[in-house]
Amino acid sequence: MKLSRESKYGLAGLIYLARQRPGTVLTVKTVAAAQVLPGTFLAKTFGRLARHGVLRSHRGRRRGYELARNPREIGVREILEDIEGPDLFARCIFGSEGCSEQRPCLLHERWKAVRPRVAESLAALTLADCAAGRTAPGALSRMGD
Amino acid sequence: MKLSRESKYGLAGLIYLARQRPGTVLTVKTVAAAQVLPGTFLAKTFGRLARHGVLRSHRGRRRGYELARNPREIGVREILEDIEGPDLFARCIFGSEGCSEQRPCLLHERWKAVRPRVAESLAALTLADCAAGRTAPGALSRMGD
DNA sequence: AAATATCAGACCAAAAAGGTCCGTTGGGTC
DNA sequence: GACCCAACGGACCTTTTTGGTCTGATATTT
């Protein structure tokens, strides 16, 4: 019932990017330094986010990452699925592979009913929302605990 | 976004008890054998559930555990909170201790809104429901994956 | 050609989860 | 009273997951 630290880092990095003027390209090192995150770790996460089309990467002179799309079109759900795995809101609450419609686990029906609400709620929340501080101003710099 | 295996075991054990006639006292070993669960591990869980008033323990001749209350008055939420910790549906989605109303994390507001729905849904689901097979008949014996 | 940061994967470390073991306790039986 | 058995609690070990580092190669502009 909790998300990994990697999700937190990734989200923090993306929000930082979303707060720059559109089209800004920043290096992982820069973002990591600004947000006080482990840089080499964030690099992996950013790489993955680029592969999934949330970020766009650049090499050569204008190197670094930029948001691939408008922040209001990037949902938090999507981001979390990229980082935690695509089945984040689809899999069994006990993590059983064998759990399915045909072979439901003990909480299958209940969880199936609740899951979409969680997913929808996070899908409706966009990077722009987070960046705008609708979450809470200054939250980024206090995420070290 | 998932529950521990211990919760699964505990739940399975409780449901097995709920399926006996009311007042039946069974030893951990018996329950573990019936459900094919690691017995010594389940023992710890049952101990905790007894301390929290879900089970009642007996020593001496009529030894073992019985449900402390009627299965229709034991909610799955309560059970999970006993096993996973009382703050299961209260804590930060990122697991941050520092996250609070005053110092909200990035997803604080969203998660705060979703959380109660999850908790309520599981509170409404009782042991009796599970035992009655409203979850799905035979789910118990297939929980080994 | 030099410089620099992306990129992928191997690799290592720390922490959490899963599971065992063992000594003690306490009621019941003989 | 001695003995039996499982509850009880904590210490302890193992495995898995997570968090994090490093290395070598690649791409792109100066």
Which DSSP category does A142 fall into? G
Which range among A84-88, A111-115, B102-106 shows the weakest confidence by mean pLDDT? B102-106
CB B65 within 8 A of CB B28: yes
pLDDT value of position B7: 97
- pLDDT tens digits, one per residue of A50-86: 999 999 999 988 999 999 999 999 999 999 999 999 9
Instruction: Indicate the residue of B1, B99, B135 with minimum beta-carbon distance to A1.
Output: B1
Instruction: Indicate the residue of B105, B113, B135 with minimum beta-carbon distance to A121.
Output: B113
Band of residue A139 on the pLDDT scale cut at 50, 70, 90: low
CB count in 10 Å sphere of residue A56: 14
CB A33 within 8 A of CB A110: no
Most confident of B42-51, B92-101, B102-111: B42-51
A48 three-class SS: helix
H or E, element range at A64: strand A64-67
CB count in 10 Å sphere of residue A34: 15
pLDDT value of position A143: 52
- pLDDT tens digits, one per residue of B44-91: 999 999 999 999 999 988 999 999 999 999 999 999 999 999 999 999
Residue of A nearest to B2 (CA): A93
What are B85's two structure tokens? 């910790």
Residue of A nearest to B4 (CA): A94
A26 three-class SS: strand
The pLDDT of residue B138 is above 50? no
* Interior/surface letters B5-35, b for 16+ CB within 10 angstroms, e for the rest: eebbbbbbbbbbbbbeeeeebbebeebbeeb
What are A63's two structure tokens? 């190197």
CB interface of B with A, residues 83-112, below 8 Å:
84, 88-89, 91-99, 103-110
Tell me the percentage of chain A whose pLDDT exceeds 90: 81
Tally C-beta pairs within 8 A across A and B.
Answer: 133
Between these two residues, A79 and B136, which has the higher pLDDT value?
A: A79
The answer, for B114 touching chain A at a CB cutoff of 8 Å, is yes
pLDDT value of position B134: 55
**What residues approach strand C to within 7 A at the CB?**
A 27-29, 43-44, 46-47, 50-51, 57-60, 63-65; B 4-6, 9, 38-41, 43-44, 59-63
Q: What is d(CA A127, CA A88) in angstroms, rounded to the nearest whole number?
A: 19
